[in-house]
């Protein structure tokens, strides 16, 4: 009888440990199964060169979200970026989303600059004002080939 109690308690301890490890894996992996702490906004860009899913979104130098999806719109020949923004961050309807580079050759991210409006975007609305990423290779080649004239 004592052996059976020991086996049951060890089994329960193992199940509890596995449940805790699973919870930590989900929380550390930033999957977001347990709480809905973000809302989605859309932004359309002519070019999203170098931007990836999972890239961070910042406002005033603080990370406030991440890029959750990038889709191609063949009708308008543009990229639609779905941005997951923290619920406690309110984005004004005339805010600007621009693609920037962290450092000279760092990762791309989206910077949200505030507008002056009293109205705020809600879930699944669109940031209308956007600025695409600056392609350094195009700038250099333009400078080199135009300076030779």
pTM of the model: 0.71
The token pair that represents 142 in the structure block: 């333009």
Each residue's pLDDT tens digit, 62-118: 999 999 999 999 998 999 999 999 999 999 999 999 999 887 777 899 999 998 889
- Tell me the mean pLDDT in the region 121-147: 82
> Residue 31: its pLDDT value, please?
63
Q: Report the DSSP beta bridge partners of residue 67.
A: 83
Strands (E), 10-131: 38-45, 56-59, 62-73, 78-86, 96-101, 108-113, 125-127, 129-131
Q: Cβ of 129: how many Cβ atoms within 10 Å?
A: 13
> Residue 26: its pLDDT value, please?
77
> Residue 34: its pLDDT value, please?
54
Quote the Cα angle for 142-144-146, to 5°.
65
Residues 6+ apart with CB under 8 A from 137: none
Q: Given the structure tokens 């760092």, which residue do they identify?
A: 106
Each residue's pLDDT tens digit, 80-96: 999 999 999 999 999 99
Q: Cβ of 122: how many Cβ atoms within 10 Å?
A: 11
Nearest C-alpha neighbor of 42 from the set 75, 87, 85: 85
Flag whether pLDDT at 3 surpasses 60. yes
């Amino acid at each position: 009888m004592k052996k059976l109690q020991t086996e049951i308690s060890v089994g329960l301890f193992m199940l509890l440990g596995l449940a805790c490890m699973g919870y930590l894996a989900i929380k550390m992996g930033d999957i977001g199964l347990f709480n809905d702490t973000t809302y989605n906004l859309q932004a359309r860009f002519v070019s999203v060169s170098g931007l990836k899913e999972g890239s961070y979104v910042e406002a005033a130098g603080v990370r406030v979200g991440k890029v959750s999806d990038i889709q191609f719109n063949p009708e308008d020949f543009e990229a639609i970026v779905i941005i997951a923004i923290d619920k406690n961050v309110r984005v004004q309807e005339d805010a600007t989303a621009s693609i920037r580079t962290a450092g000279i050759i760092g990762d791309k991210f989206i910077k949200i600059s505030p507008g002056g409006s009293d109205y705020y975007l809600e879930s699944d609305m669109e940031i209308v004002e956007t600025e695409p990423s600056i392609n350094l290779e195009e700038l250099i080649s333009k400078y080199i080939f135009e300076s030779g004239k």
